[in-house]
Amino acid sequence: MRELRGTPDGRRSRIGIALSRYNESITRGLLDGALAALRAGGVAEDAITVVHVPGALELPLAAQQLAQGGRHDAVLALGAVIRGETDHYAYVCAETASGCTRVALDTGVPVAFGVLTCETLALAQARAGAPAKNKGTEAARAALEMIDVLAQLREVAR
Domains in the chain (CATH in brackets) are 15-150 (3.40.50.960)
Q: Starting at the earlier edge strand, list the strands of the sheet with 111-118.
A: 48-53, 15-20, 74-82, 111-118
pLDDT at 21: 97
pLDDT at 1: 85
Catalytic residues, by residue number, are: 88
pLDDT under 50: residue ranges of the chain? none
pLDDT at 140: 97
118-25-112 Cα angle (round to 5): 60
pLDDT at 38: 97
pLDDT at 14: 96
Helix (H, G, I), strand (E, B) or coil at 134: coil
Predicted TM-score (pTM) of this structure: 0.93
3-state helix, strand, coil in the chain (%, to 5): 55, 20, 30
Query: What does the DSSP 8-state code read for residue 86?
Result: S
In the chain the first and final C-alpha atoms are separated, in Å, by 17
pLDDT at 89: 82
**Would you call 54 exposed, middle or buried from its count of C-beta atoms within 10 A (0-12, 13-18, 19+)?**
exposed
Other Cβ atoms less than 10 A from the Cβ of 46: the count is: 7
* Cβ atoms of 31 and 17 closer than 8 Å: yes
Q: What is the pLDDT of residues 70-81, one digit of tens each?
A: 899 999 999 999
Helix (H, G, I), strand (E, B) or coil at 149: helix
